[in-house]
Amino acid sequence: MSVYPKQETVPPLLVGFKNIPAYFLQPLRLWRTYDRSNLRLDLIAGLTVAVVLLPQAIAYAFIAELPAQVGLYTAIVAAVIGALWGSSNHLQTGPTNAISLLVLSTLLASAAPGTPEFLVLTGMVAVMVGVFQLFMGLARLGMLVNFVSHSVIVGFSSGAGVLIAIKQLRPLLGLEFSSHNLIETIHGVVTHLPETHPPTAILGLGTVLLLALLRRFAPKLPGPLIGMVTAAAVIGLLKLDQQGVEVIGELPRGLPPLAKLPLFDFELYAELSAGALAIAAIGLVEAMSIARSIASQTGQRLDSNQEFVGQGLANIVAGLFSGYPCSGSFTRSAVNFKSGARTPLSSIFSGVFVLIAMFALASLAAFVPRAALAGVLMVIAYGMIDRKEIRRIWQGARPDALIMLVTFLGTLFLHLEFAVLTGIMLSFAVYIMKTSVPQVVPVLPDDDFKHFAYQPDKPSCPQLGNVDILGDLYFGAVSHIEHAIGQLMATHPDQRFLNIRMRSVNQCDFSGIHALESIVRAYRERGGDVFMVRVNAPVLALMKTTNFYKYLGADHFLSEDQAITHVFYNVLDPAVCIYECEVRAFKECQNLPRHSYALDIPLHTELPLGEIRYISPQTLWEQLHGNNPPFIIDVREPREFKRRRIPQAELKPLPTLVSETINLVSGRQVVCVCRGGRRSARAAYILQQNGSKKVLALKGGMLAWEAAGFLTAVET
């Protein structure tokens, strides 16, 4: 008997909570395992990332309509905490464009940008996002991120890019109007376009042109930082701030302050929960996809649950220290990796360098024009629209294209949190639809008889059907599987036997067991049976604990290599194979004798149960050596008869019994013989129907006779 691994009986949730101390000890493991030879490379990478992070933190804060310092606080705190408690060596955590847009959408319904309430709610959302993510990590639910389709991310990122670009037209051109959605923004830009402020527009469009040129001719240079410094220099030299050009203003010097948050306002939690959940989901998918992308190049083995813990703690601490929700950044993580970073310490250094820069350069922010930031954001927004990936998805599977399109349109025209959740729910719906309609594919051997394949143009065996179930047998799929096999039975009413290939069935529940029982019952009611091959260990274990294994029979679970051979020689009716079937579907069929009889009477595959009486080889041997030996009729083909036979047997091939009248001696017992006992059972039934009463079939046929060691005759 095979031994299968014991199934885990402790829920994953409880198993995860047992490992809570291990998740929080990640910084200690980092300290103990750190190789000091990596310090120089980590320092260089951290400084390089900080050069990119500094302008991005300010720009992304403006997407969420938050003060620049909130973005910087988030950049400092998230980079350090995310690196200490995450699992990736290169993931850089901090403000991102997509998350910033989601934060703004979530908070607009509760507070106006620029108010103290807006800042408080920003911190609250960050804490809520962190709690969601932390819980998922501690509960070992990291695998849930796999159920969010890549198409959701592409659709949301593309929609967010369009929204960010259009939203930045107002500060880019120096227009003054208020808007709350895409339509209002477009209408406002068109209506107020004549009111464009020329110096502002020149600075903004000049920044866009400069970044485009840098990206084209010097892509390795920190374009956003150069663009902002250049624009600030122009402001300082020409004193354009005195001509109505809006600037950021001087930044406060100091460590991120502790925020005063209403952590016990439960009504506020209910109000912000949908948005926080959407931010948490997108943030985790974003972070894990980036970490995996880089890990595929470095060979690092990631722990998704540990990364969830790191992202959760980064958001919680950022919210508590006057920041806003954060996630992994693809741009900064790629810079971190390409700069030679070896460990998470590089991300910690990037946060420290931003803190130093904040102290040193705070006064210079007074000269950075808002239009230059808008130009930076428009270039970044353009990069968010991955046209190549959109084209691939659109040309690929229709469900993925639908998910992408719905998420994209939802991002443009719905509240962003609902657009994200709609895309995620649609991903789940598509997954459920796919898994609930697994393919049930009739298969036949290929021309070399080495592999089974779907070959609809080939005729199938009239007695034995072979199907592959390509999917799991769970409650959502059983109806489809039963319907598909029911159609197979209706299409091939003479197929009394079914061989189910279970190699692709990795999971099965009690509904699946009931479905299999129903299928077996249906085939047995038509006088046949069901066999199975390649049943996976967990599925077989469930079959045993639910008694399905006993119900079907241990001898009905066959090895793939021997399944057809076993069924062919021990189950199928050779009379049908020889006299009725011209298909020769299996390798075993190829050596069957080709009948030369004009057989017009079909040999139906059904035999009434209990109608046939049998005689054992031992009893027949004794009767042959008694006073009244039985008359033995060998119903095989002539060439079989010549090879080996019972000495007293007379050859009467089965078609002869069907098509001719056989005169038997009245009162003498007749024994029909064939190779394995099935043709002889049919012959005995035919003779009984013709009026002969003393007719028996040799049980087990010539195979049993020879196995018992009794004498056989051979024609020379």
Check residue 3 and give its pLDDT: 37
Q: What is the pLDDT of residues 477-487, one digit of tens each?
A: 999 999 999 99
**Based on the domain organization, do 330 and 451 belong to the same domain?**
no
- Specify if 256 maps to a domain: no
- Is the predicted pLDDT of residue 392 greater than 60, yes or no? yes
Give a yes or no: residue 483 inside a domain.
yes
DSSP H or E run through 672: strand 670-673
Secondary structure of residue 327 in the 3-state scheme: strand
Q: Which of 413, 431, 449 is the last residue of a domain?
A: 431
Q: Inform me whether the pLDDT recorded for 293 exceeds 80.
A: no
Question: Do 229 and 359 fall into the same domain?
Answer: yes
| 135-163: average pLDDT | 83
pLDDT above 90 as % of the chain:
48
- Which of 477, 716, 700 lies closest to 708 in space, CA to CA? 700
Say if CB 411 and CB 164 are below 8 A apart: no
Final residue of a structural domain among 431, 450, 479: 431
Q: Are 166 and 96 in a shared domain?
A: yes
Considering the domain architecture, whether residues 50 and 168 belong to the same structural domain is answered as: yes
Whether residue 417 is found in the same domain as residue 443: no
Mean pLDDT calculated for residue range 587-616: 66
**277 with 391, same domain?**
yes
Sheet holding 464-470, edge to edge: 439-442, 464-470, 497-501, 529-533, 557-558
Domain annotation covers residue 600: no
pLDDT confidence of residue 5: 39
Query: Are 415 and 444 part of one and the same domain?
Result: no
* 269, part of any domain: yes
Q: Does 383 fall in a domain? A: yes
> SS3 for 494?
coil
Q: How far apart are the C-alpha atoms of 2 and 21, rounded to whole Å?
A: 38
Say whether both 415 and 488 belong to one domain: no
Asked whether residue 288 carries a pLDDT value surpassing 90, the answer given is: no
pLDDT of residue 399: 87
State how far the Cα of 412 lies from the Cα of 101, in Å rounded to an integer.
11
Co-location of 559 and 657 in the same domain: no
Q: Which residue has the higher pLDDT, 471 or 362?
A: 471
251 assigned to some structural domain: no
The secondary element (H helix, E strand) that includes residue 603 is none
**DSSP H or E stretch at residue 498:** strand 497-501
**Which range among 267-276, 284-293, 310-319, 346-355 shows the weakest confidence by mean pLDDT?**
284-293
Residue 4 — very low, low, confident or very high, per pLDDT cuts 50/70/90?
very low
Average pLDDT over residues 165-183: 89
pLDDT digits (tens, 9 = 90+) for 336-378: 998 899 999 999 999 999 999 988 888 887 788 999 989 998 9
Is a pLDDT exceeding 90 seen at residue 126?
yes
When pLDDT is cut at 50, 70 and 90, the band that residue 612 belongs to is: confident
* Domain extent for 483: 439-577
What sign does the dihedral 264-118-249-233 (CA atoms) show?
Answer: positive
199 pLDDT band (50/70/90 cuts)?
Answer: very high
Pick the range with the lowest mean pLDDT from 12-26, 31-45, 142-156, 280-294.
12-26
Helix (H, G, I), strand (E, B) or coil at 666: coil
Given a cut of 50, whether residue 272 has pLDDT beyond it is yes
504 with 520, same domain: the answer is: yes
CATH at residue 547: 3.30.750.24
Task: Annotate 47-72 with DSSP letters as a single string.
Answer: HHHHHHHHHHHHHHHHHTT--HHHHH
| Confidence (pLDDT) at 142 | 72
Q: Give the pLDDT confidence score for residue 714 in this predicted structure.
A: 74
Residues 140 and 222 in one domain: yes
Kindly indicate the confidence band of residue 608, based on its pLDDT and cuts at 50, 70 and 90: low
Could you tell me what percent of the chain has a pLDDT over 70?
A: 93
Mean pLDDT throughout 510-539? Answer: 92
User: What pLDDT was estimated at residue 603?
Assistant: 52
Mean pLDDT of 191-219: 93
pLDDT, tens digit, for every residue of 74-104? Answer: 999 999 999 999 999 999 999 998 899 999 9
Instruction: Give the model's confidence band at 544: pLDDT under 50 very low, under 70 low, under 90 confident, else very high.
Output: very high
Average pLDDT over residues 307-313: 95
CATH number for the domain that contains residue 656: 3.40.250.10
Per the domain annotation, does 586 fall within a domain? Answer: no
Residues 6+ positions from 221 with CB-CB distance below 8 Å: 214
Residues in the chain: 716
Residue where a domain terminates, one of 522, 555, 577: 577
Average pLDDT over every residue of 178-186: 86
**Under a CB-based contact definition with an 8 Å cutoff, are residues 328 and 75 in contact?**
no
Same structural domain for residues 418 and 477?
Answer: no
What tokens does 494 get?
């003479």
* Model confidence, pTM: 0.66
Mean pLDDT, residues 665-688: 85
| pLDDT over 70 at 593, yes or no | no
CA distances from 25 to 20, 28, 306, 317, 505 (A): 9, 5, 10, 17, 39
Greatest mean pLDDT range, 118-122, 262-266, 356-360 = 118-122
Q: Is there a domain that residue 625 lies in? A: yes
Task: Average the pLDDT over each of 110-124, 140-154, 506-520, 691-705 and give the range with the smallest value.
Answer: 140-154
Per the structure, the count of domains in the chain is 3
User: Within 13 Å, how many C-alpha atoms sit on residue 578's CB side?
Assistant: 23
